Structure 1
């Protein structure tokens, strides 16, 4: 039954097949192609099947770790059709632009497998002097050679972010305008109790 299905599929998909040069004579026409399939259908077939893996569970677990965080984010997958078509957005290093690629499911899985490292190995994006460890060591040398003044990043505090967004200083008392400082933490007060204690709080006195 399975041989019949294979030969029927090859016959039905004849217009879409890419006939290799070795079968150019047999595939010159659909009639010749069907005759070729019919002859081989009657013969015995030798099928090369890979040996069943003894550690299929370990292989599935190892590959599953890459499926949790794949090399291609799900946001890049733009399209998936039932006709086994996958549309992918990617940044081309050649054109420096975002391009769209349409491929089959088998081709997508083949390219995906390229990013799965062998057992005990790691995928390295940058190596040599471009590796993060070496880059930190060479930063000081690069600054000296290029005579570049290294700029220190300005430290942004939560207070500064609050002031920039809300235009209000969170450490300034809304009642007297004095600068507040943290002296302690008390929990469990109701809003009415806090309103009553507003003066001691503004004067930095311990309440409760």
Structure 2
């Protein structure tokens, strides 16, 4: 099978022992460049994760693995677009979640809170990832400020969760976390309008 990356071609045998060699070659070629892995195109099939599992399953038949890359600007645009999409979906749900904690929380309410926490941790991780990059938006200081505030409120929220204090949880979400999420959404929208491209615009 052939690996095509950044205009270079490499030949590998169609054996399980080649999987690590292929994945290591991809890392080796991208390391130190301004390109980021977008996805693999394996005989025309787009793959965004679980590369080793897929390659292992079809190892006997694979002819070509093409590595699709993103420039740093495209990479940032992907990250910010994903964050904007998440916040647009999450904000209406946050309002519903707050009302449930004020009224009468159920097991389902606590499950939704867990999903919110995972989403907020993902947003913080996104900010940390971009902070490592050379290219950052002009409004980057705002992101750092919101990230720091979010970390504080997540700590406060943890206290409410430990004590199962529904009113404290609802207050923190409504008066602290929800406004932060709104502000972050506005910053992200501003960033995409300034340096990015919004997909699926009709």
Superposition TM-score tier, normalisation by shorter sequence: under 0.3
Q: TM-score, with normalisation over the residues of structure 1?
A: 0.18
Greater helix share, 1 or 2?
A: 2
Greater strand share, 1 or 2?
A: 2
Q: TM-score, with normalisation over the residues of structure 2?
A: 0.19
Higher relative contact order (CA 8 A, sep 6+): 2
Structure number with bigger Rg: 1
